[in-house]
Amino acid sequence: MFNYKFDWAIITSGQYFDWLVSGVKVTLELSIVSVVLSFLLGLLIAVMRMSNVRPVRWFAHGYLEFFRNTPLLVQIFFWYFGSYKILPTAVNDWLNSTNFEFTAAVIALTIYTSAFIAEDIRSGVRSIPKEQMEAARSAGFSYLRSMQYIILPQAVRITIPPLINQFLNLAKNSSLAMTIGVAEITYQARQVESYTFKGFEAFTAATLVYLILSVAITALVTLYSKKMLNPMGAR
Amino acid sequence: MIRFEGVHKWFKKLHVLNDVNLHVKQGEVVVLCGPSGSGKSTLIRTVNRLEPIDRGKLIVDGQNLSDPKTDINKLRAEIGFVFQQFNLYPHLSVLKNITLAPIKIRNITRGEAEEQATVLLERVGLAEKRDAYPAQLSGGQQQRVAIARALAMKPKIMLFDEPTSALDPEMIGEVLQVMQGLAHTGMTLIVVTHEMGFAREVADRVVFIDFGVILEEATPEEFFKNPKHERARLFLKEILSPMH
């Protein structure tokens, strides 16, 4: 009944190993680039969502509802297949000369995740006492500079745990990029399986990669917040 | 320096400032007092437009606060504000609390700002706390840092909104002493406070306000010896001998 022959050597050396390693590299690139961009974009959208200028606030609100309430896979397809149709030929030619699969995946992951990050940051901002804004404004800081120097640095510290969650989701969601041909680790594991029929070994490897990546993200963000973002004392 | 002309303000239906007329001259120390809910905090907060006024005219340092052309951020940089709850930036050290605005708004170098902060910290008696965080300080220490933070902008006017009301009694003196030192430098000061000893010794003028109306304006001697308005008499009685 149990006559599957394990062959771990096939994924720990040789050509298939190289495939998996190249997949790990792409997954790392995809995740790191998207984590950084989605955090920055999330900050921007959060600030826009709280703006006093109505059209800006409405735009941010629409953005949040739109991207949080549609499936990531559809968004990936949209950026990859959809945007292609409406862009000028020259732009398309240029895109084709680059690694457009990768770019489309970064755009989709970044925008999708930024919507969640923005909401987390906004609730962080709302937990900062309004007197902090008053203190900053009475010193002569504009609204935006008060946000930049006083409110957001405090809000982000409070937001670290939910941010870690979003980064983990992003890293795991990056596997969907295989559907548009980005050769990340899930894609490569699938390749190895097609060539060798060693699905168990190949996807065990992929699983371990995501597990290690997630633990690393949690550790790095936690370490950074402890080391760099300083003790706020008893707050 | 500061001129209120027929200023009104409402919170919904509540008439919190009712036809306020007041002129504070440069270098003057004015103490605002009155029962809680009288509108004195609102009044002081209108001076840097933390609370906008609804009617009338308010001129601060030659600028009309209701004029859309007034650059409020620029004006606020000239006005130090000290809060009841200190409102230090909890994520920054004492030194950074003080140097942030001078560096970012006045565009002075970090070195210059830190030198200046060191002098100010010595002046408020907290030189050894420059690297501490607000949460590691007592209330009185936090309030003295808040005063140093406001002074670092070299303001023309300082506003104090009940600066000692959140403090334990034994810490009130240290804060009042710093404020008294300031009054002697010729800076324009408006202080909302219940510390009548401070008013008596330091103020040029005491303004008594209730229900959003200025009921009395007098020198401290006049005000404490012979308050004209009935409510001022009651207020003084309550505050000077709460047990009667």
Smallest Cα distance from B238 to chain A, Å? 30
Structure tokens at B196: 């009548």
Residue A235 and residue B90: Cβ atoms within 8 Å?
Answer: yes
* Nearest residue of B to residue A232, measured between CA atoms: B91
Q: Which residue ranges make up each domain of chain A?
A: 18-229
Taking an 8 Å cut-off on Cβ atoms, the answer to whether B101 and A139 are in contact is yes
Contact: A138, B79; criterion CB under 8 Å? yes
Q: Residue B236: in which H helix or E strand, if any? A: helix B230-240
Total beta-carbon pairs less than 8 A apart between chain A and chain B: 69
Task: Show residues of chain B in contact with A153, CB under 8 Å.
Answer: 91
List pLDDT tens digits, range B142-188. 999 999 999 999 999 999 999 999 999 999 999 999 999 999 898 99
CA B228 to chain centre: 25
Mean pLDDT of chain B: 94
Class of the CATH domain delimited by A18-229: mainly alpha
Among candidate residues B59, B64, B83, B103, the one with its CA nearest the CA of residue B158: B83
Compute the nearest-CA separation of A119 from chain B (Å): 22
Cα–Cα distance measured from residue A135 to residue B225, given in angstroms and rounded to the nearest whole number: 37
If contacts are CB pairs under 8 Å, which of residues 1-30 in chain A contact chain B? none
A189-210 residues labelled b (16+ CB within 10 A) or e (exposed): bbbbbeeeebeebbbebbeebb
pLDDT digit string, tens, across residues A185-203: 999 999 999 999 988 999 9
Beta carbons of B104 and A141 less than 8 Å apart: yes
DSSP B190: E
Say what the pLDDT of residue A230 is. Answer: 60
Per the CB < 8 A criterion, the answer to whether B99 and B180 are in contact is: no
Three-state DSSP class for A72? helix
Q: Is the pLDDT of residue B198 over 60?
A: yes
For tokens 């003084």, the residue is: B236
**Beta strand B63-64 with B55-60: parallel, antiparallel or unpaired?**
antiparallel
A131/B83 touch (CB, cutoff 8 Å), yes or no: yes
Residue of B nearest to A138 (CA): B76
CA distance B11 to B34: 19
Contacts of B83 in chain A (CB under 8 A): 131, 134-135
For residue A124, list chain B residues with Cβ-Cβ distance below 8 A: none
Minimum CA–CA partner of B92 in chain A: A232
Evaluate if residue A215 carries a pLDDT over 60.
yes
Distance CA A121, CA A43 (A): 7
Report ipTM for this prediction.
0.92
Alpha-carbon gap, residue A10 to A17, rounded angstroms: 7
Numbered residues of chain B with Cβ closer than 8 Å to any chain A Cβ: 48, 50, 73-74, 76-79, 81, 83, 85, 87-91, 100-101, 104-105, 133-136, 149-150, 153
Of A134, A137, A140, the CB nearest to B153: A140
Query: With 90 as the cut, is the pLDDT of residue A148 above it?
Result: yes
The three state secondary structure string of B198-220 is: HHHHHCCEEEEEECCEEEEEECH
Mean pLDDT across the stretch B56-84?
Answer: 95
Q: Tell me the mean pLDDT in the region A146-150.
A: 95
Confidence of residue A1 (pLDDT cuts 50, 70, 90): low
Most B CBs within 10 A among A130, A138, A225, A226, hence the mutation to make, goes to A138
Residue A228: the pLDDT is: 67
> pLDDT for B21-64, tens place per residue?
999 999 999 999 999 889 999 999 999 999 999 999 999 999 99
> How many alpha carbons lie under 13 Å from residue A210 in its C-beta half-sphere?
18
Amino acid letter for position B111: G
